[in-house]
Chain A
Amino acid sequence: MIGIPYLEGKYAATMDLYSQQSKEFNRNYKFYEHLREGRLTTTRCRSCGQRMYPPRVMCPYCTSDDLEWVDLPTRGKVLVFVEQYQGVPQGFEAPHILAIIDLQGELRFTTRIVNCKAGELKEGDEVRMVVFPLPPSLVETRNGIEERERVFYAFEPVR
């Protein structure tokens, strides 16, 4: 880091935009393994049957910790969107497009829309999930510093 000589070559997780996805730091690491397979998944409670998003280790409806992985649709429809041209946060490019999408009636959330030029997107457009690599996190182990690969998802217009 420029200006902080004692952090030269160091990885500061507190300055990392993305969270830790690997098994040693995240019990729900399978969410990211599934993303690599092109699957958007979450947990469902085996006790009460409720599905929750994002995935958990405890059911917030009945407090059971007997949860299983289930798939969500990876295609949806744009309900409303905005395009940001200025003040886009570090790590993102303008236009930064955010949309609330509906995943075939199963879930609605806010997602980034990628592979889309400014002015192109319309309400009602169909979108599909895309998965892309993130910078790895760097974990100190007995063998030295090891890279932990990471991924995340966004949605793109179906053309």
Chain B
Amino acid sequence: MKVVSMDRNVCIIAGGMSQFGVREASLREIFQEAAKACYEDNPAVKPKDIDGIIVASAYPERRAFQTHLAPLVAEHVGIKPRSICIRCEVLCGSGSGGIILAYGLIKSGAADVVMVIGAEKTYMPQRWETFYSELASQDHEFDAPHGIGLPPPIFALVAKQHMKQYGTTEEQLAMVSVKNRRNGMNNPMGQFRQPIDLDTAMSARPIVPPLKLYDCCALTDGGAAVILACEEKAKDLTDRPLVYIRGTAQASVHNMSANMPNWTTWESLKIAAQKAYRDAGIRPSDIDVAETHDCFTISEIIEYEDLGFCEKGEGGRFIQEGKSDFGGQVPVNTDGGLLSCGHPFGATGIRQGIEIMKQLQGRAARQVEGARFGLTHNLSGGIATHTVVIYGRDKD
């Protein structure tokens, strides 16, 4: 009988990102910049060593009039894929979704060395079109006709309910942006490097009350790439400490607003987190550093709770007491998160993976000393879908 299951260990061995921000560059150019940065991060890996490519991008059809994107990107970054060549999309979770797919293919033996590369060209010649295309992100037939699609009103609805249910304050929301802006000062590739203080955050102009300017991540052009390899190849291709993918999950409970089971407890996040922790054989308290989806400050607060870093409803106090900062229980968004780096949808989960890889290898811009386990998290759409990836310094 032919054995088809190999069940190998999978490592992340390189990662790099383009400059994030408002870029004077096209989508394909941003992909090339991300690949270039990734190759420079680990010169031992040559394009010919890479047998597969997974391309993450949410809006190429609308913003670059380009489908069949993966072969185009492969051509531009010098890869001739022979195991996999495909695009994956689940909006804001596209990048980490790509990492999960690459992990599964390598683990099973269907691929050996895969580049996961994500990019977004968000800014258009006329800015209305960027906002207009966002209406594709919700249920287009039944939610979008109400003008639902741009995230701020959705997360303002979430924030209002969380504040009412648990007593979370606008000041606690602002503390998330102050922390992440401080962390982002160390990230030269991020969109914003200026720190802000609490007064600035609290007195900023309203976007959709109670959310103010610094409670919201920006629109961003940018790209990021990582290379994943089976452990055997990884040993040949890097001298750095090996970082293993230990647990993964992507969960979705419902999509349309009519079917949301709860707006302030994110069921699919809890499901994804539980599965990823189980895969990794660890508990939430074992996580040393986390990159969570701070598209809005309220998101990071709910994520502390539903990832199990604190009790339900305690997220506001968790940030207030410094537990998500350096020196606290679990430093969160150590590279600045979405609030500082910006959020090019396809690139974000990959950007997070790069930061966790560097943290676990001991070479982050601001290092969490002795970090052994790191976690990345994305939410996508109107909080419908959640993606969790756990990385570890040890193989088991």
Instruction: Please report A residues at the B interface, Cβ cutoff 8 Å.
Output: 14-15, 17-19, 53-54, 80-92, 96, 98, 100, 107-112, 134, 152, 154
Contacts and interface: CB of A to CB of B under 8 A. Distances in A.
12 contacts: A54-B258, A83-B209, A85-B206, A89-B132, A91-B147, A98-B153, A98-B157, A100-B257, A109-B256, A110-B154, A110-B257, A134-B145
A89 B150 contact: yes
B146 interface: yes
A80 B259 CA distance: 16
B152 to A, nearest CB: 7
B131 A90 contact: yes
A17 B152 contact: no
Contacts of A98: 146-148, 153, 157
Q: Which of B140, B147, B156, B257 has the most CB of A within 10 A?
A: B147
A87 B161 contact: no
Given A17-B135, A98-B153, A100-B263, A53 B141 contact: no
Nearest to B62: A14
Contacts of A18: 145
Interface in B130-151: 131-132, 134-135, 139-150
A31 to B, nearest CB: 9
B160 A80 contact: yes
Contact of A87 (B62, B131, B141, B148): B131
Contacts of A85: 206, 208
Nearest to B143: A110
A82 to B, nearest CB: 4
A87 B151 CA distance: 11
A90 B146 contact: no
B152 A89 contact: no
Given A80-B161, A98-B157, A108-B258, A89 B149 contact: yes
B207 interface: yes
Interface size class of B (residues with CB under 8 A): 35 or more
Q: Which of B132, B142, B161 has the most CB of A within 10 A?
A: B142
Given A90-B132, A91-B147, A111-B146, A53 B207 contact: no
A134 B146 CA distance: 12
B117 to A, nearest CB: 26
B208 A82 contact: yes
Nearest to A110: B257
Task: Name B's interface SS.
Answer: helix
A89 B208 contact: no
A92 B207 CA distance: 16
A120 B382 CA distance: 26
B257 A109 contact: yes
Given A89-B131, A100-B263, A54 B160 contact: no
Given A89-B150, A108-B258, A134-B145, 6 more contacts: A80-B157, A84-B152, A84-B156, A85-B208, A89-B147, A100-B157
Contact of B134 (A83, A89, A154): A89
Contacts of A90: 128, 131-132
Interface string B40-83: 00000000000000000000001000000000000000000000
Nearest to A114: B146
A36 B193 CA distance: 53
A152 B145 contact: yes
A141 to B, nearest CB: 23
Contacts of A92: 147
B258 A19 contact: no
A152 to B, nearest CB: 5
A17 B147 CA distance: 9
Contact of A53 (B140, B161, B256): B256
A89 B156 contact: no
A108 B208 CA distance: 22
A54 B153 contact: no
A19 B140 CA distance: 7
The 6 closest A-B pairs by CB, nearest first: A109-B258, A110-B257, A112-B146, A82-B156, A92-B147, A19-B141
B213 to A, nearest CB: 10
Interface in B311-368: none
Interface in B143-197: 143-150, 152-154, 156-157, 160-161, 164
Q: Which of B142, B145, B150, B164 has the most CB of A within 10 A?
A: B145
Contacts of B132: 15, 17, 89-90
